[in-house]
Amino acid sequence: AQSVTQLGSHVSVSEGALVLLRCNYSSSVPPYLFWYVQYPNQGLQLLLKYTSAATLVKGINGFEAEFKKSETSFHLTKPSAHMSDAAEYFCAVSDPNTGNQFYFGTGTSLTVIP
């Protein structure tokens, strides 16, 4: 079975600083990878996804993520944090061998300090 590990359940950055949220996955085959964001009292919104095309994926709101097969990682970055980026971020993997079942990490709560 797939698993997703998000290192750091809480991350704090200053406004304007680099955002780095870590995600590692376990998979015996190349997976599909996703980052979602959840704002308070809302559902999950897709930020970006990797589906075996370019390894550097650009998403909404200035976020991007790089797929590194050798490190089994899919870390999320943003060059300059904005106050509106404060939210919960979830990494997910879809295993090609199990249809479209998603496996989610436990989430990382991002705080942006003014």
Positions in the binding site for another protein (CB under 8 A): 4, 9, 32, 34, 36, 41-46, 49, 51, 90, 94, 96, 99-107
Distance of closest approach, residue 13 Cβ to another protein, in angstroms: 22
Give 1 or 83: the residue with its C-beta nearer to another protein: 1
Beta bridge partners of 69: none
Distance of closest approach, residue 99 Cβ to another protein, in angstroms: 5
Distance of closest approach, residue 77 Cβ to another protein, in angstroms: 21
Q: How many Cα atoms sit within 13 Å of 1 on the Cβ side?
A: 6
Beta bridge partners of 49: 34
Give 80 or 106: the residue with its C-beta nearer to another protein: 106
Helices (H), the chain: none
